[in-house]
């Protein structure tokens, strides 16, 4: 896997690899716990962004919607 995670699929692959690392002992439980918490926050941000985009679409803003990952936070 690349040095950066750029897609939801890559995030799932990373988490699955982490689970296998726990199983084979190459990842310590406390490290896995910390990574899981960070991944949960990333997933929460995905969920929040999709909710915002869906709400904006439902309000009739279909033509002006940004793509997922490009939602501005400073407007």
| Residue range 18-44, pLDDT digits in tens | 889 999 999 999 998 898 898 888 888
Give the pLDDT confidence score for residue 49 in this predicted structure: 87
Domain that holds residue 23: 12-53
Q: Taking the model in full, what pTM does it have?
A: 0.64
Residue 27 within any structural domain of the chain:
yes
Give the pLDDT confidence score for residue 21 in this predicted structure: 92
Residue 20 within any structural domain of the chain:
yes
Cβ atoms 39, 15 nearer than 8 A: yes
Residue 56, class by beta-carbon neighbours within 10 Å (0-12 exposed, 13-18 middle, 19+ buried)?
middle
Closest CA to 35 of 50, 53, 17: 17
| pLDDT higher than threshold 80 for residue 56 | yes
Q: Helices marked H in 1-75 — which ranges?
A: 8-24, 29-58
If one counts the domains in the chain, the total is: 1
Cβ atoms 40, 62 nearer than 8 A: no
Residue 69 within any structural domain of the chain:
no
Residue 36 within any structural domain of the chain:
yes
| pLDDT higher than threshold 80 for residue 15 | yes
Residue 22 within any structural domain of the chain:
yes
């Amino acid at each position: 896997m690349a040095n950066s995670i750029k897609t939801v699929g890559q995030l799932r692959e990373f988490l699955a690899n982490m689970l296998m690392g726990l199983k084979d002992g190459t990842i310590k439980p406390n490290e896995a716990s910390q990574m899981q918490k960070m991944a949960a926050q990333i997933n929460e941000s995905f969920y929040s962004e999709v909710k915002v985009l869906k709400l904006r679409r439902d309000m009739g803003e279909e033509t002006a919607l940004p793509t997922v990952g490009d939602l501005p936070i400073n407007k």
